[in-house]
Structure 1
Amino acid sequence: MFVEINGNPLNVEVLGEGEHTIIAHHGAPGLGSLAEPRSSFGRLADAYRVVVFDARGSGASGEAGPYTHEQWVADVEALREWAGAEQIVIAGGSYGGFIAMEYAARHPSRVSAMVLRDTSADNANQELATRNAAASARVSIDRAKLDRIMTGTVRDDADLRECWLEILPLYDHDYDPAAVRARAEATPYHYRTHNYAFAHNQPNYDIKHLLPGITAPALVTVGRHDWITPVSCSEAIAALIPGAELRVFEHSGHSPQVEEAELWEATVRAFLDKALGAR
């Protein structure tokens, strides 16, 4: 369904009818969609009400700007109000984790728990990711394409697709060229959103100072072999959020919710049972 949120239509799906509401934010602005959180958090719809959506400028949602963190956080808050939830479990993976953390820090009274996956609290991961890509023995990366996608200077949707296809082999623990091609074909491309996020938001991104103010229980999950938001980024987050739990998945890259799906799901369920039960 389409829901008007802050003057822009968002493509929203609601799964399950549980007492507690989870709002899960996808990653990769301009490339991501609700498909990823639907496949991972949707598995919890037997016990929770799960709200997934295409963020402003991504997937099938409207493209009205701005594509700032402030706007994306405001959209989550308006979505919470639309859902009629006094408090939510806020969840986010990769870039969606940026927004989840900012939401939890700026709306602490509205967050009952937070689940993060393969994310970072500042832009230090950019340099780490660039080094990891250059050192990869799996594929030889075209440095010009890597630079365009990492700095938000892709030329159009077709160029974004080519740059995305270039780095996709780095994401998974086990490389499957057919799966990479299928993922590239299934991706909705919005190069203006991507460029704004990486050329304007990312260079100044640093919310480490906000993390000690997060009051909700937090679970930080990450794949041991994540190339773009390495384990050190999650370790830094867990060290700054009071009482945060860190779980490293030894046989995963950037997507433990896919590569170690059963273990990741069991970990999230156990965390939420404890966190929401205590509250």
Structure 2
Amino acid sequence: MTENIVTTTSTVTMDDGACLHVKVLGDDPKATKPLLIALHGAPGLSTLVDPESSFAFLSGTFRVLVFDARGSGASDLTGPYTHERWINDIENLREWAGAEKFLLAGGSYGGFIALDYALLHGDRLLGIILRDTWANGAVGMMTALANIVTSDRLRVDVARQIRVWSGILYDDKDFEEGVMEILPIYDPPEGVSKKAPMSNDTGPKTFEGFVPTVSKYHSATQNAAFGVNMPRFDVRHRLKEIKAPTLVVVGRHDYIAPVHFSQEIADGIPNARLEIFEHSGHAPPADEPEKFQDTVWSFLKAEVL
């Protein structure tokens, strides 16, 4: 929760003229704290709400910068929606924040961007936090689709889910219907979630920063992400090039980006740390917030601060 955290909201113009909706959490007018940039997932659907709720607890030590990626939320719907362009936007924001180096966090699709950023600009990174992500786009997409259409927790339109995960959605309404029918799969099974340690946070959980009553659906962004970017995304054999300290977290019951994908990433990055959250689905910061915060603090104190 961020009610007592000083938050600055800005509209930041990128080098191509597109404007992004940006928040910086924590009062630091002289920019003396190290910078954390946290990326949301689900292009065209998710917003800065997810990384804000996940990393606000660090705002006393870091300047926590979160933003709606172009093509998502309140930011401009100005393409191209490519990893190269999204990475350049991160660079623009780093420069705007006045940081030479920073900590980068990415969840789900944000993890793909974080991995590509680390391979291109690794010298800029103090560390990396990856949450429920994968290193190979084609295998990841097909695994998620297979788990969705075979799940006994869901009743889905199979043809529509194929459109969602292959990036050939008809329109924004098609996207909305495709998302709404799979929401339960992002949570851990009911019996597992009831075993999780109780949280003091009684606020509503969100899927990837997605709140059904207020979210905007941008199917063009989703189509570019999964129809164009994902088939080209495969960093498995380059993970060894990433030298920044890396924390990889994943929910044991994540059916979108299962544990073995995070294990592959942690095995590939030298000295990476893997933490599996036994009572979580696709969102450990929401499912097990106390453990998530303790895990992140432990990593930061050992490797970054």
TM-score by length of 2: 0.87
In structure 2, the gaps of 5 or more residues are 1-9, 194-203
Match of 2:188 among 173, 181, 197: 173
Q: Is 1:238 aligned with 2:266?
A: yes
The DSSP-based 3-state class of the residue aligned with 1:64 is coil
- Other-structure match for 1:27: 41
Q: How many residues align?
A: 276
Shift of 1:135: 2.2
The 5 Å alignment of 1:65-84 reads: 65-84=79-98
- Other-structure match for 2:76: 62
- Other-structure match for 2:178: 163
- Other-structure match for 1:11: 21
Structure 2: how far apart are the matches of 1:3 and 1:68? 19
Match of 2:120 among 83, 100, 106: 106
Shift of 1:134: 2.2
Match of 1:87 among 101, 104, 122: 101
- Other-structure match for 1:38: 52
The CA RMSD measured in Å over matched residues stands at 1.8
Contact (CA 8 Å) 1:161, 1:184: kept in 2 or not?
no
The DSSP-based 3-state class of the residue aligned with 2:99 is coil
Deviation beyond 6 Å, 4+ runs, structure 1: 178-182
Q: Is 1:258 aligned with 2:268?
A: no
Structure 1: how far apart are the matches of 2:105 and 2:269? 15
Contact (CA 8 Å) 2:189, 2:253: kept in 1 or not?
no
Q: Deviations over 1:226-246 (max 9, x none)?
A: 011110110110011110000
The structure in which a higher percent of residues are helix is 1
In structure 1, the gaps of 5 or more residues are none
- Other-structure match for 2:197: none
- Other-structure match for 2:154: 139
The DSSP-based 3-state class of the residue aligned with 1:251 is coil
Structure 1: how far apart are the matches of 2:140 and 2:150? 15
- Other-structure match for 1:2: 11
TM-score by length of 1: 0.94
- Other-structure match for 2:244: 216
